[in-house]
């Protein structure tokens, strides 16, 4: 699903809102998540999952073309852990 498809889907459920208004709502939602993560905060959406930052330590790697060793610096990555409801919906046989 693309962002525009999501906006259309949300607009269908929000009776009386235009696509432009719905786009503002969806963009605000995503911007809020990005802002919280950039501040190092955890984002918890009950039933869906949690977003949080993990720090990857610096490491040595190899350039696959040349075989030359390269240093990969420390970096922060977003980690997502599914919530119980989503996990059960994705794997109904594991209930």
State whether 26 and 71 are in the same domain: no
Tally of CA atoms within 13 A in the half-sphere of 26 that contains its CB: 19
Q: Is 77 exposed, middle or buried (0-12, 13-18, 19+ CB in 10 A)?
A: exposed
Total tally of structural domains belonging to the chain: 2
pLDDT of the residue at 79? 96
Q: How many residues does the chain have?
A: 95
Cα(75)–Cα(89) distance, integer angstroms: 32
For residue 65, pLDDT beyond 80: yes
| Domain CATH number, residue 66 | 4.10.520.10
State whether 49 and 93 are in the same domain: yes
For residue 15, pLDDT beyond 90: no
- pLDDT-based confidence at residue 94 (cuts at 50, 70, 90): confident
State whether 30 and 48 are in the same domain: no
pLDDT of the residue at 71? 94
| Enclosing domain of residue 77 | 42-95
State whether 84 and 47 are in the same domain: yes
Over residues 31-55, the pLDDT tens digits come to 999 999 999 999 999 999 999 999 9
**Residue among 45, 2, 6 at smallest CA distance from 22:** 6
For residue 95, pLDDT beyond 80: no
State whether 51 and 11 are in the same domain: no
């Amino acid at each position: 699903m693309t962002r525009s498809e999501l906006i259309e889907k949300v607009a269908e459920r929000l009776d009386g809102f235009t696509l432009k208004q719905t786009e503002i709502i969806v963009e605000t939602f995503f911007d809020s998540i990005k802002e919280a993560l950039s501040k190092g905060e955890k984002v918890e959406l009950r039933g869906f999952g949690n977003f949080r930052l993990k720090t990857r330590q610096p490491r040595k790697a190899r350039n696959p073309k040349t075989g030359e060793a390269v240093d990969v610096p420390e970096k922060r990555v977003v980690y997502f852990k599914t919530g119980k409801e989503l996990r059960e919906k994705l794997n109904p046989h594991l209930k």
